[in-house]
Amino acid sequence: MKALSLAEAKAHFSEVVTNAEHRHERVLIEKRSKPVAVVIGYDEYKKLETLEDMYESRLLEASLKKGDFISLEEVAKRLKIEL
C-alpha cells in the first residue's frame, strides 16, 4: 500500500482519488508519520462493507444459536438510556 503524508495527499488529491478509483490503489494517509486514514475506491469500499455485513450476520446467527444475547431493553438499561 502506498503511503503519503497529509500534505502530499492534499497536493495530489485528484490523482490519489483517480488511482483509487481506476487502478484500485489503496493509499495510506499519514499525519506526523502516523497512519490516520486510507483512500480506497468506492467499489472496494462497497465490497468491504458487504464483507462486514456478512461477518456480523454470522456472529449474530452464532449468538442466537447459543442463546448468547441480550434484549434491547437490557442494552438500554446497561447504557442508562430510555427507549
- At 13-30, the pLDDT tens digits run 999 999 999 999 999 999
* One domain for residues 67 and 50: yes
pTM for the predicted model, two decimal places = 0.69
* One domain for residues 31 and 54: no
Domain count, the chain: 2
Q: What is the DSSP string of 1-67?
A: -EEEEHHHHHHTHHHHHHHHHHS---EEEEETTEEEEEE--HHHHHHHHHHHHHHHHHHHHHHHHHT
Residue 58 identity (one-letter amino acid): R
* One domain for residues 50 and 71: yes
Domain that holds residue 11: 2-40
Nearest alpha-carbon partner for 7 in 44, 33, 26, 46? 33
C-alpha cell at 11: 497536493
H-helix or E-strand spanning residue 80: none
Strand pairing category for 27-31 and 2-5: parallel
- At 34-48, the pLDDT tens digits run 999 999 999 999 999
